[in-house]
Structure 1
Amino acid sequence: MYFYTGRLTEKSDVYSFGVLLLELLTRKKPFSYISSEDEGLVSHFSTLFTQGNLPAILDPQVMEEGGSEMEEVAAIAVMCITLRGEDRPSMKKVEIKLEGTQASRGHEGDNVRNCPWTADGGRSEVLSRQYSMEEEFASSSRYPR
C-alpha cells in the first residue's frame, strides 16, 4: 500500500495482514505470482473470490485441512486487501471475525485428517508426510520475512 499511496496508515497493516493471509491460503508469493490474465496474486485472488472460484487458487492441502472455514478466511482476506484504506476493517474487527470463525469450528478441529497432533497436544501415532496448517504456520513464524 505504501507503494501506491506514499503514506503509511493504520489500515496499511490491515492490507499487509490480508496479503499474509493470501500467502497462507494459496502458498504462493505475491511478488512472484502472475496469473494467466497478467494479474498479481492480490487482484487474481479477489477476482476468483468474486467469481466463486476459490478452488482455482487455494492450495489443495489448505482446502482439505481447513474445510468450510477457508471461505470465511478468504472473505476476511478480501476485506483486508481492498485498495481503499477507508473500506478496510480495523485490525480489531479482523481479529473478532477470525475468532468467530475459530469458535464456529468448535471441537471439530480435533478430528482433522492427517493432523499429527492429538487433542491433548501430544503426537499421534499416525503421522502424515505433510505438515498441518498449524505446524506450517508455527515453523514459518520462526523465519524473518
Structure 2
Amino acid sequence: MRLTEKSDVYSFGVMLIELMTRKKPFTYMASEGNGLVAHFATLFAEGNLSEILDPQVMSEGGNRIDEIAAIAVACVKLRGEERPTMRQVELRLEAAQSPEEFEANGDIVANSPLACGAGLTSRQYSMEEEYALSARYPR
C-alpha cells in the first residue's frame, strides 16, 4: 500500500469518527458485522448518528455535529479521488466553528487566524500564538 495525501485524509476522517464516538476502530464491531467507520457512515446516511455518538459530544457539539460528521464521512470514502483535500477539510472545519470558541475574557481574539471574519485564508501562525490558543482549553 502506498501512502498518499488521500490516505492521510482517510486517516483524519477515522480520527474524527473516533473523537465523535469515543470508540476505537480496531475493537468496534456493530451487530451487522460492520466496523466503526462503515457503521458511522451508514448511521449518518440514515440520520441516526445519535445511536453511535458519545453523549458528551452530542450535548456539547450542538448544531455543528452534523457538519463535522459530514466532513468525517467525506474523508473516509472508499475511493481516494472522492475524498476532499486536507485544505478543503480545513476550510469546512473552520466554517463549522462557532465564534464563542475564540473568546478570551469575553473578547474575540481579533488577531487570531482562527477568529471568524479575520479575513485570513491560512492558519500559519507562530508557536507563541499556538501556545496561547491551546492554553485556553483544558487538558
2:15 matched to 1:31?
A: no
Aligned-residue Cα RMSD (Å) equals 1.8
Structure 1 segments, 4+ long, off by >6 Å, are: none
TM-score of the pair, normalised by structure 2: 0.73
| Percent pairwise identity | 61
Aligned partner of 1:120 in structure 2 is 105
Aligned to 1:142: none
Measured after TM superposition, the shift of residue 120 of structure 1 is 2.4
* TM-aligned CA deviation for residue 9 of structure 1: 1.3
Q: Can you list the C-alpha shifts for 1:9-28, whole angstroms capped at 9, x where unaligned?
A: 11000000000000100000
Alpha-carbon distance in structure 2 between the residues aligned to 1:120 and 1:81: 38
Aligned-partner residue type, residue 52 of structure 2 = I
Alignment-mate amino acid for residue 67 of structure 1: G
Q: Displacement, 1:64?
A: 0.3
Shift of 1:106: 2.4
Cα shift at 1:8: 1.4
Deviation at 1:119, TM superposition (A): 4.3
Secondary structure in structure 2 of the residue aligned to 1:8: coil
Match of 1:78 among 73, 88, 95: 73
* Aligned pairs for 1:25-64 within 5 A: 25-64=20-59
Question: Structure 1 stretches of 5 or more lacking a match?
Answer: 1-5, 111-117, 122-133, 140-145
Q: Deviations over 1:29-87 (max 9, x none)?
A: 00000011111000000000000001000000001011110110000000000010000
